[in-house]
């Protein structure tokens, strides 16, 4: 663990910036295809269901690979895996601009998902090992803030900035080149990111006992459940809230989509506020629990009360803000619970819940929309946030004893 003397503030700032930049690129690429779906549908004459399969393949493959990525992080270091992730995703997105059929997109999305799987275990392991503990909350906050910025910037750059006048092929190729530039920048400063060599126990291939220990650990399974639920709420609402607002209020598309804009913008601010709170106060479970409860209350108000769209947009902003506030405290709780020498494996395991929730949520929310249960879309999100409160409060106990990795 780094201390203040071994990691001066200037080095901390560079590490946080580089890791945050990599995380931004991860989120940037996760939704790079989505704004282009109408153009891809016309180009390849495929259904939206077929295009939605690309999203399921991305999150499903990433989730399956993430636990294994955690093993590689502990063995080879998060710096190498993070560079691999950025380079792989950027190369795949560049090649997507050259495909001649829909079916060529599927293997590229799958390979990009393998690259995406490394970021959470790699990024958070680097920050946990190299950043002064007094700045850890702010480090995690910048990491989350950068990821949210990636979501915001992707449609602006890929669709509005390039595809709208140069076509989707040029847009994807340009997006890929941006990522290759990011990889070159990270490679240039790789020395400051280099991870210390792990102990033989940390780098050994984990056996059945290790993962059985994770599964039987109530705090770590609670963390896995939390990530699955919070991802399902975010992905489901991000995908269907605009359509639900149109169905319920007959709102114009621009007004209906303003809710998600408010959510993402407020989430970015909330991440930074949450980082300050996490560094100033040690009541991490309370900060996360209260924030999630306020998310549930705000979303329940949208579900149960017929409100003007301006109020609904403000409530979406509050959901994003309070959700962002919880992120740094949540990550610190997971870090505190991780067994010694197994940070990468634990972050890889619990964060795979994000991809599980992202893969399954569209099925539930799409089923609600198809059944005309438009308000229930928001109610489902409120229930998921409320269940997250119960999950995150299970992380208060500190480090969890788990069987040695090599056993």
pLDDT in tens, 167-216: 999 999 999 999 999 999 999 988 888 876 554 444 455 555 555 666 66
- Domains in the chain: how many in total? 2
Q: Show the tokens assigned to 275.
A: 């980082």
The helix, strand and coil proportions of the chain, stated in percent and rounded to the nearest 5, come to: 85, 0, 15
Nearest CA to 116 out of 385, 390, 358 is that of 358
Q: Are residues 200 and 212 in the same domain?
A: no
Which pLDDT score is estimated for 92?
97
- Asked if residue 403 belongs to a domain, the reply is no
**Lowest-pLDDT range of 96-100, 299-303, 332-336, 392-396:** 392-396
The residue segments making up the domain with residue 338 are: 206-398
Q: Are residues 284 and 306 in the same domain?
A: yes
Q: Are residues 199 and 234 in the same domain?
A: no
Q: Are residues 178 and 227 in the same domain?
A: no
- Asked if residue 406 belongs to a domain, the reply is no
The residue from 205, 236, 267 where one domain ends is 205
Q: Are residues 320 and 188 in the same domain?
A: no
Which residues fall within 8 angstroms of residue 383, CB to CB, at 6 or more apart? 296
- Asked if residue 372 belongs to a domain, the reply is yes
- Asked if residue 305 belongs to a domain, the reply is yes
Measured CA to CA, the distance from residue 164 to residue 110 in angstroms comes to 26
Q: Are residues 288 and 376 in the same domain?
A: yes
Nearest CA to 25 out of 66, 86, 80, 102 is that of 86
Measured CA to CA, the distance from residue 25 to residue 2 in angstroms comes to 26
pLDDT in tens, 348-357: 777 778 778 8
First to last CA, the chain: 24
Nearest CA to 66 out of 331, 330, 349, 361 is that of 349
Which pLDDT score is estimated for 297?
94
pLDDT in tens, 325-338: 988 888 887 777 66
Q: Are residues 243 and 358 in the same domain?
A: yes
Which pLDDT score is estimated for 214?
63
Which pLDDT score is estimated for 407?
44
Quote the pTM value.
0.77
- Asked if residue 405 belongs to a domain, the reply is no
The residue from 181, 205, 229 where one domain ends is 205
- Asked if residue 258 belongs to a domain, the reply is yes
Provide the 8-state DSSP code for 194: P
- Asked if residue 191 belongs to a domain, the reply is yes
CB of 59 closer than 8 Å to CB of 113: yes
Measured CA to CA, the distance from residue 254 to residue 242 in angstroms comes to 9
User: What is the widest separation between alpha-carbon atoms in the chain?
Assistant: 61
Q: Are residues 220 and 301 in the same domain?
A: yes
Q: Are residues 174 and 238 in the same domain?
A: no
Centre a 10 Å sphere on the Cβ of residue 379 and count the other Cβ atoms it contains.
Answer: 16
CATH number of the structural domain spanning residue 69: 1.20.1250.20
Q: Are residues 89 and 33 in the same domain?
A: yes
Ranked by mean pLDDT, the top range of 175-179, 244-248, 392-396 is: 175-179
Q: Are residues 200 and 113 in the same domain?
A: yes
- Asked if residue 404 belongs to a domain, the reply is no
Q: Are residues 231 and 200 in the same domain?
A: no
């Amino acid at each position: 663990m780094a201390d203040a003397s071994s990691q001066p503030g200037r080095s901390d700032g560079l590490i946080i910036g580089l890791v945050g930049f990599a995380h931004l690129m991860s989120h940037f690429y996760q939704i790079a295809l989505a704004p282009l779906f109408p153009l891809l549908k016309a180009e390849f004459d495929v259904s939206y269901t077929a295009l939605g399969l690309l999203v399921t393949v991305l999150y499903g493959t990433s989730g399956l690979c993430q636990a294994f990525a955690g093993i590689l992080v502990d063995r080879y270091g998060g710096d190498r895996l993070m560079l691999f992730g950025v380079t792989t995703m950027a190369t795949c997105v560049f090649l997507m601009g050259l495909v001649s059929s829909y079916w060529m997109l599927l293997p590229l999305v799958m390979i990009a998902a393998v690259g995406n799987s490394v970021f959470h275990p790699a990024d958070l392991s680097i920050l946990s090992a190299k950043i002064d503990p007094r700045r850890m909350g702010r480090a995690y906050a910048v990491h989350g803030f950068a990821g949210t910025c990636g979501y915001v910037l992707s449609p602006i750059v890929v669709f509005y900035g390039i595809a709208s006048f140069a076509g989707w092929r040029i847009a994807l190729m340009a997006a890929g080149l941006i990522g290759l530039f990011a990889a070159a920048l990270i490679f240039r400063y790789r020395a400051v990111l280099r991870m210390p060599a792990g102990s033989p126990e940390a780098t050994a291939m984990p056996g059945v006992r290790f993962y059985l220990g994770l599964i039987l650990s109530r705090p770590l399974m609670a963390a896995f459940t939390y990530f699955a639920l919070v991802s399902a709420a975010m992905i489901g609402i991000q995908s269907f809230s605009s359509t639900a607002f149109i169905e319920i209020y007959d709102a114009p598309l621009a007004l209906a989509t303003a809710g998600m804009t408010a959510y993402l913008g407020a989430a970015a601010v909330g991440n930074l506020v949450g980082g300050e709170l996490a560094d100033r106060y040690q009541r991490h479970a309370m900060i996360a629990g209260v924030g999630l409860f306020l998310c549930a209350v705000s979303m329940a108000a949208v579900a149960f009360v017929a409100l003007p769209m301006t109020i609904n947009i403000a409530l979406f902003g509050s959901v994003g803000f309070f959700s962002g506030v919880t992120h740094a405290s949540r990550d610190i709780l997971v870090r505190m619970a991780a067994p010694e020498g197994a940070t990468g494996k634990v972050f890889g395991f619990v964060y795979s819940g994000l991809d599980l929730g992202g893969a399954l949520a569209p099925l539930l929310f799409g089923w609600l929309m198809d059944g005309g249960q438009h308000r229930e879309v928001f109610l489902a999100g409120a229930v998921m946030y409320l269940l997250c409160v119960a999950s995150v409060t299970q992380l208060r106990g500190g480090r969890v004893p788990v069987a040695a990795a090599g056993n």
